[in-house]
Amino acid sequence: MSDVARASPRLPPHRERRGLDASWLVLQVALFAVIAGLIGAAGYNAAQNLAKANIAHGFGFWNNTAGFDISQTLIDYSSSTSTFGHAFWVGLLNTLLIAGVGIVLATILGFVIGIARLSRNWLVARLAGGYVEVIRNIPLLLQLLFWYNAVLKALPEMRGSIALPLGGFLNNRGLFLPKPVFAPDFEAVVIALAVGIAAAIGWRIWAKRYQARTGEQMPIVLPALAVIFGLPFIVFVVAGKPLTFGIPDMGRFNIRGGLEILPEFAALLFALTVYTAAFIAEVVRAGVLAVPAGQIEAAQTLGLRAGGTLRLVVVPQAMRVIVPPLTSQYLNLIKNSSLAVAIGYPDLVQVFAGSVLNITGQAVEVIAITMAVYLFISLVTSLLMNFYGRIVAVAER
């Protein structure tokens, strides 16, 4: 098999032999000082030049009133009282929202397509292959514009809205759903949900230990679901149903009330999901192909069927190969979400590096902050993924 005995190398080989010594430490410190010095000099130079050209500089703009409205705000925001700092947080939350939902959906779709491509069914495999090849090779901006124009043009205008069951509306201004309004008693239901999840996890751990000890399998899925859904439901009924819905209703121009999902959000989500899923599919396919054929044969000898082989033998071993490139795809998705500028979705770049930059004129500070934020988000994501990678790393024999 391979020579690499550990899941992730730490120090390069020659360092392993000599360990951390003085000359290495001095070099690190000196290099850090030089880089910090250069960055500091660049910043100082920029500030001096801005002052000489009479351009406002510094971060004082953060606390000035914004004055403009944003179409989707996850926190309270008002054009008259909110500051540019508030606008920054609104944009950041919108970016995190689309990135988070996009990552989840793209992963699911990517895994399905990737494994479908390896299916023994000829038609399924070819369809998945076709999907990957087509989607991978068309620029994301074009796909995004396609989704936005296809999504918008296909939906009816406000007056001809499609009325959905449960009182929702669908038109080219968005999807309007009844908005849940939580009474204070709802906290009890949330606590019950947390207790239910903890109980389900605890049950699973106990059942696995029992199986290891006695070989007898206890039912896991059904009792877990019963506890996770049943317990909060009982508490909900007992607390007197502390949940009402704000029904959206048609005004003169727009629909009032209700939960609004913007078509810009939907278009960006579809585009990011479909595009990134094609790349994730290839990553998954690579991971599955990297599992030695002997493992699959051994699983079949033991009597495992296709589903069991995949779930218990192939995927756990494939994850070691899948996780690093998967991290890259997640980072790509997060950065690609900045294309929201092209369709008017108020993400961080659109709100902060667009509106705020233009109103204050302080391009240097705004772009520096935006770059730093994206860097931070990406570093955190890759840190979490590396941590996860180390957990799922399976030592090879």
Partner 1 sequence: MKRLATAFAIATVLGFAMQAASAQTLKAVKDRGGLLCGANGQLAGFGMPDPQGNWTGFDVDFCRAIAAAIFNDPTKVKFMPLTAANRFTALQSGEVDVLSRNTTWTMSRDTQLGIDFAAVNYYDGQGFMVHKALKVASALELNDASVCVQQGTTTELNLADYFRSNHMSLKPVTFATLDEALKAYDSGRCDAFTTDSSGLYGSRLLLSNPSDNIVLPEIISKEPLSPAVRQGDDTWEDIVRWTHHAMVNAEELGVNKANVDEQKSSTNPEIRRLLGAEGQFGESLGLTNDWAVRIIKAVGNYGESFERNVGQGSPLKITRGLNALWTKGGLQYGLPIR
User: How far is residue 229's CA from residue 266's CA, in Å, rounded to a whole number?
Assistant: 29
74 binding partner 1? (CB under 8 A): no
Q: Which two tokens stand for residue 226?
A: 């019963």
**Segment lying near partner 1 (by CB under 8 A), choices 105-113, 190-198, 283-291, 353-361:** 353-361
Structure tokens at 272: 């990011």
Minimum Å distance from CB 43 to partner 1? 8
Using CB atoms within 10 Å of the CB of residue 367, give its burial: 0 to 12 exposed, 13 to 18 middle, 19+ buried.
middle
Residue 25 near partner 1 by CB under 8 A: no
The correct pick among 46, 125, 220, 239 for binding partner 1 (CB under 8 A) is 46
Contact in structure between 171 and 153 (CB atoms under 8 Å): no
Rounded to a whole number of angstroms, the minimum distance from the CB of residue 342 to partner 1 is 7
**Residue 196: CB minimum distance to partner 1, A:** 39
Tokens 């996850």 appear where? 74
Should residue 237 be labelled a site residue for partner 1 when binding is judged by CB under 8 A? no
Kindly tell me which of 76 and 216 has the beta carbon lying closer to partner 1.
76
Among 119, 295, 338, 360, binds partner 1 (CB under 8 A): 360
Q: How far apart are CA 231 and CA 197, in angstroms?
A: 10
CA-wise closest residue to 100 among 293, 240, 265:
265
Q: Exposed (0-12), middle (13-18) or buried (19+): which is 223, by Cβ within 10 Å?
A: middle
**161 touches partner 1 by CB under 8 A:** no
Query: Is 100 a residue that touches partner 1 (CB under 8 A)?
Result: no
Residue 119 binds to partner 1 (criterion: CB under 8 A): no
d(CA 382, CA 260) in angstroms, rounded, equals 32
From the list 6-14, 67-75, 161-169, 327-335, the region that binds partner 1 by CB under 8 A is 67-75
Q: Is 387 in the site for partner 1 (CB under 8 A)?
A: no
Site for partner 1 in 302-341 (CB under 8 A): 341
Give me the residue label for tokens 């514009």: 145
Residue closest to 330 by CA, chosen among 260, 276, 367, 290: 276
| Smallest gap from residue 324 Cβ to partner 1 (A) | 23
Task: Give the Cα-Cα-Cα angle 204, 210, 212 (nearest 5 degrees).
Answer: 105
Answer for the pair 309, 135: CB distance below 8 angstroms, yes or no.
no
Q: Check binding of 14 to partner 1 (CB under 8 A).
A: no
User: Is residue 73 part of the contact set for partner 1 (CB under 8 A)?
Assistant: no
Q: Summarize as ranges the residues that interact with partner 1 (CB under 8 A).
A: 31, 34-35, 38-39, 41-42, 45-46, 49-50, 52-56, 67-71, 79-80, 152-153, 157-158, 172-173, 251-254, 256, 263-264, 341-344, 346, 350, 354-355, 357-363
